[in-house]
Homo-oligomer: A and B are copies of this chain.
Amino acid sequence: MSNRNHNYAIVGTGALGGFYGARLQKAGLEVNFLLRSDYDRVKKHGLIIDSPEGDFTLPRVRAFHDVHKMPKCDVVIVALKTTQNHLLPKLLPPLLKDDGVVLVLQNGLNTEPEVAKIVGSERVVGGLCFLCSYKVSPGHICHLDYGTITLGEYAKNYQPIGITNRLHQIAIDFKRAHIPIKMSEDLLLSRWKKLVWNIPYNALSVILDARTDELMANPDTLILVEQIMREVVAGAKSCDRIIQDDFIQHMLEYTHKMKPYRTSMKIDYDESRPLEVEAILGNPMRAAQQAGIKLPQIGVLYRMLKFVDAQRQEAEKTRRLLGVQ
């Protein structure tokens, strides 16, 4: 990856990929958007971003619905939901320059090794997004709050290898687009730390149909959240990643102060989209299991979410069938 004028591909132009991609294009970078259902609309009318940091419209964007028609890129951003990851073996190879990298901006654990199997470990970096946004309609994204990305290098089996030059290069592009960037020396540790928040709140918000403030206000779910967080910390430890005790307290206080928040999994659920159960709960659970550590509380959440997800997808299938007939 050269030091200047990188071009970007956005694989998955939704609430996250669309937002970051639009910001990068607005900052003067070449961004190529891969779309599926929203292709026609975006090809014609571009992207609209509502944001407390300033609304803007991009009347023309480089929109594609076929990776083979796209230029090869320096940075290929994976912004699909992890439930679509079975598509990656077909999508990534045609998009990536020989010295390009894939930046995985997804939730949960173990997508980087999956991507590494496709493009090689040395061509993968990871990013954790703290972003609150949703798609209003095709090509129209509303950014609500936050936006920081934590970037981390990937090496085989999540070995920590510090901060590389190419990570700095990507950071420069994002900062140009006014996206706050943090750097992680240890991507796996960062992913586990994010799971400390993501596992309890995503799972409980869907299972109990609750916002974060409701989960924090009830004494029983408050205890449950904290207990689950402790189990995530135990999971991290099974992968030799130590999360300090005060981190849990910090996350709880942070959530207490947050505006009432609908988690990404709850938004997916409400929109009848498949839930990211495997990436956010299944993969961490199995990682711990392979190290001989059981996470029984997370196991309960996992099974419940699989049930809820299956019921929802079944209902959605029926709804579509009836809609078509």
Enumerate chain A interface residues (CB-CB to B < 8 A).
204, 207-208, 210, 214-215, 218, 220-221, 223-224, 227, 296-297, 299-304, 306-308, 310-311
Contacts and interface: CB of A to CB of B under 8 A. Distances in A.
B300 A220 contact: no
B304 A218 contact: no
Contacts of A208: 207, 304, 307-308
Q: Count the copies.
A: 2
Residue picked from A223, A296, A300, A302, most chain B C-beta under 10 Å: A300
Contact of A300 (B214, B218, B301): B301
A238 to B, nearest CB: 16
A304 B224 CA distance: 8
Nearest to A304: B208
A234 B84 CA distance: 40
A182 to B, nearest CB: 33
A223 B301 contact: no
Contact of A223 (B204, B297, B303, B311): B303
Given A297-B296, A297-B297, A301-B300, A307 B210 contact: yes
Contacts of A300: 224, 297, 300-301
Contacts of A303: 220-221, 223-224
A224 B310 CA distance: 15
A307 B310 CA distance: 24
Nearest to A309: B220
A245 B41 CA distance: 60
A297 B210 CA distance: 20
